[in-house]
Structure 1
Amino acid sequence: MRRALDLAARGDYRTRPNPKVGAVVARGDKVLAEGHHAVSGGPHAEAAALDALPPGAARGATLYVTLEPCGPFAGKRTPPCVERVLASELARVVVAQTDPHPEVGGRSLERLRAAGLRVDVGLLEDAARRLNGPYRKWIKVRRPYVTAKWAMSLDGRIATAEGDSQWISCGASRRAVHRLRGEVDAVLVGVGTALADDPLLTRRGVEGGTPLRVVLDSRARLPLDSRLVRTAREVPLLVATGSEADPERSAALRVAGAEVLSCGAGPRPDPLALLDVLAARDLRHALLEGGGEVAAAFLEADAIDRVLCFVGPRLIGGDGAPGPLRGRGFPRLDDAPRLRHLEARPSGDDVLLEGHLHVY
C-alpha cells in the first residue's frame, strides 16, 4: 500500500477535479503491475495497473488501491473500475479508504464482496485521506481546501524589522511553491503582502494550471500600478474587500481589469464568505500565502486545513521583525490549534514542515 500511495502522489494538476489514486497488483510479495491516475478523463489507477498485465495474469492475485474503486453513476466519463476489477478474477482487494462520493460510498466494496472477493479496508487510511484532502473536503463540505504556506527564519521571522524578506527560503523551496501554485485553484494574499512585495502570484518555470489570484483588501488600497493589477487582463485577479471599501478605488480597479467583490458584512473580508465565493466558482483548493493578519484571520475562523512552513537557516532577530501569524492570538495554550501528522523533510537548504489541522 505504501507503494500505491507513492504512485498516487505522482498525480498532479492534470487529475483535477478527480482524486489522486495509485494501485498495485501483487501475488504474495511479488509486484505484478502498478498504475496511477495521471489525467482527468484518462484511465483510473486500477485500470492502468490491470491493463499492464496479459489476459488472465491477475487471476487469484491481490489489488492494493488507495481509494475504493469507482462504480457506475451519471456523468461518469470512464468505465466503472469495479467492473474491471471483477473481470480480472482477483482474489482479494485491499483498499486504503472508502470513497466519500455519495454515488460510490461503499457500494463498490459491497459489490466486490457479493462476488466472492475478500475485501479489506483501512490500510494506511490516514495517509490516503491526507493525500486527497481537497477532494474529500469538497465532497463532504463543498468548500475549498485551504493550504497555508509561509517561509520563516529559524527564529520564526518572515522578514526583518525593515521589511526585507527576499529571500528567506532557498531556490528549491521557491520552486516547490511554484509547483504548488500550479496545482491549486486560487492563490490568496493580504493587501499588506501585495504592498510590501509587489508579487505576481503566478506559476513560473513549471507546468501547471493558472490559479485565480485573490487579494484580501479591506479598503481597495491595491495600487493601480502594481504588477497584480497591471496583469489583471491576462491573469484573473479578484480583490476581496470589506464593507468600508472606497467606491472610487473599487471602480478604478474594475476599469483596470480586476474583479472587486465585497465578502461579508464587516469592514474586513470574511474568510468563510470568501471561501463560499470560490466554491460557487468550483474552485476547490486555495493556497494562502500570507501575510500575518490574513493567516491569523483564517486560523481564527478555523478555515486552514494544512500548513506548509519552509524554515530557512537564518537568525533574524529584532523586536519589530514580524512572524507568520498576527491577529488577536490565543490567550491559552489549550486553545491554540495543534497540528497533526507533522512531518519534516529537506527542501534544498531549508526544512519543510507539513502539518494538518483537519483531515477529511
Structure 2
Amino acid sequence: VRRTTLANSPGVWLEVDGSGEWTASARCSASVRDFFDIYLPLKVRGVLVIGQLGQSLDGRIATESGLSHFVTGPEDIDRLHRVRAIVDAVLVGAGTVDADDPELTVRRVDGENPVRVVLDPSGRLESNRRIFNDGRAHTIVIHHDESVGSEQMGEAEILRVPGTSPHKIDLEVLLEKLSFRGLRRILVEGGGLTVSHFLQAGLLDRLHVTVAPLLIGSGRPSLTLDPVPTLEEVPRYPCRQFCLGKDVLFDFELQSKLE
C-alpha cells in the first residue's frame, strides 16, 4: 500500500494498493472518483499489457474504406492520450500505420511520448511513413526473423522476432524482448485484428473498449475471435463502465497467462 499527498490539495492523501484500489482522506467528486478508477490500476502496475478499441454501437472501428477519425468523442481521445502518457510503449499493427499514418504521441495532455512499436511481420510497410521519420519518439519495427523486409526504415529500429507462421509474430516472445528493453507497460492500440490476436493469445491484462452512439453499418469490425460454441462458454470478465461525454468506456479486467 502506498500513500501519496495530492499536490493541489494540501493535507489530503491518497492510499493505493497493488491492484489500483484506493482510499482518499477527503470526499471526492464523481468525476475525480472516475479519474482515479480508470487510471490508477494502470499506473500502479509495473508490468501491464492493455488493449484499446474505440467502436460504434454496432461494433465497427472504421468505415469500410478504413476511415476512423474519430469514432469516439473528445473525452475518450483525452483518455487515450493519458493512457499513452502512462505506458512505456504503444503498439499497433501494420494495417493501422497503412490506413492512418498515426503519430502515436502524447499531445492532448501533459506527459512523455511512449516508445512506438509497429508490428509488421512481412515487412510490407514503406520507410517513408511519418512514424518512421518524424523523430518524435523512438520507434521499433517488428519483422518476422525470416522475412525479407527492408533493413532500414527511416529513423526506426528494426527488431526481428520469431513467428508462428510467415505472417505471424510470436507475441509472447515479443513481449519478453520488449520487457528486456525496459518496456513493461504496453498499450496495444490497434487495429482490431492486432488487439484480437493479443486477446486470443491470453496476453492482455486489461481491455478498454469505448462505445460511441453511432451506427456505422458496413465497416471494419472491432474484435475478431475464434467462435464459441455456446453462450455458457463465453468468458464473462469483470467489467466497469464509465461515461465519457456521450461515449461509454468498458474497462475489462482480464487475466494474462504471463502473470
- Give the letter for the 2:58 counterpart: D
Aligned to 2:244: 347
Deviations 1:217-255 (A, max 9, x none): 111122212111122x441111112234224x2x131xx
Asked if 1:283 corresponds to 2:161, the answer is no
CA separation in 1, counterparts of 2:136 and 2:42? 30
The code of the aligned residue for 1:199 comes to P
Q: CA deviation at 1:334?
A: 4.5
Which segments of 5 or more consecutive residues in structure 1 lack a partner in the other structure? 1-18, 24-34, 39-47, 54-62, 69-95, 98-126, 139-143
AA in 2 matched with 1:235: A
Q: Any idea what SS the aligned residue of 1:182 has?
A: helix
In structure 1, the residue matched to 2:236 is: 338
**1:228 and 2:128 equivalent?**
no
Q: 1:273 to 1:189 in 2, by over 3 A?
A: same
Q: CA–CA distance in 1 between the matches of 2:237 and 2:222?
A: 15
Among candidates 250, 254, 258, match of residue 357 of structure 1: 254
Please report how far the alpha carbon of residue 311 of structure 1 lies from its aligned counterpart in structure 2 after TM superposition.
0.9
Match of 2:143 among 241, 254, 260: 241
The 5 A counterparts of 1:144-159 are 144-159=47-62
Amino acid of the structure 1 residue aligned with 2:180: A
Q: Distance in 2 between matches of 1:178 and 1:64?
A: 23
1:209 aligns with 2:112: yes
* Alignment-mate amino acid for residue 264 of structure 1: P
- Cα separation, partners in 2 of 1:329 and 1:269, compared to 1, 3 Å: farther
Change over 3 Å in CA distance of 1:153–1:230 after alignment to 2: same
Q: Shift in Å at residue 178 of structure 1?
A: 1.0
1:134, distance to aligned residue in structure 2 (A): 6.2
Q: Is the 8 A contact 1:262 1:269 kept in 2?
A: no
Task: Give CA-to-partner distance per residue, 1:282-332, whole Å, 9 cap, x none.
Answer: 2221111111221121112100111111111111112xx222112545455
Give the alignment of 1:1-360 within 5 angstroms. Answer: 21-22=2-3, 35-36=5-6, 65-67=15-17, 131-132=40-41, 135-136=44-45, 138=46, 144-231=47-134, 233-247=135-149, 249=150, 251-253=151-153, 256-266=154-164, 267=166, 268-318=168-218, 321-340=219-238, 342-358=239-255
Q: Tell me by how many angstroms 1:147 deviates.
A: 1.0
SS at 1:188's partner residue? Answer: strand
Q: Is the 8 A contact 1:184 1:209 kept in 2?
A: no
How large is the RMSD of aligned CA atoms in angstroms?
Answer: 2.9
Does the C-alpha gap of structure 1 residues 351 and 164 become closer, same or farther in structure 2, counting only changes over 3 Å? same
1:71 is matched with none
Indicate conservation of the 8 Å contact 1:241/1:262, yes or no.
yes
How many residue pairs are counted as aligned between the two chains? 238
In 2, Cα distance between equivalents of 1:157 and 1:212: 27
Q: Which has the larger radius of gyration?
A: 1
Letter in 2 for 1:153: S
| CA separation of 1:160 and 1:65: change in aligned 2, threshold 3 A | closer
**Which SS does the other structure have where 1:213 is aligned?**
strand
Given that 2:52 and 2:195 are in contact with CA atoms closer than 8 Å, whether structure 1 keeps it comes out as no
* CA displacement 1:109-142 (0-9 Å, x = unmatched): xxxxxxxxxxxxxxxxxx99x9445655x4xxxx
User: What is residue 26 of structure 2 aligned with on the other side?
Assistant: none
Percent of paired sites with the same residue? 34
Normalised by the length of structure 2, the TM-score is: 0.80
Give the AA of the match of 2:241: A
Aligned-partner Cα distance in 2 for 1:335–1:218: 32
Q: Which has the higher strand share?
A: 2
- Where 1:175 maps in the other structure, the secondary structure is helix
**Amino acid corresponding to residue 67 of structure 2 in structure 1:** D
Q: How far apart are the structure 2 equivalents of 1:310 and 1:316?
A: 15
TM-score by length of 1: 0.59
8 Å contact from structure 2 (residues 93, 194) kept in 1: yes
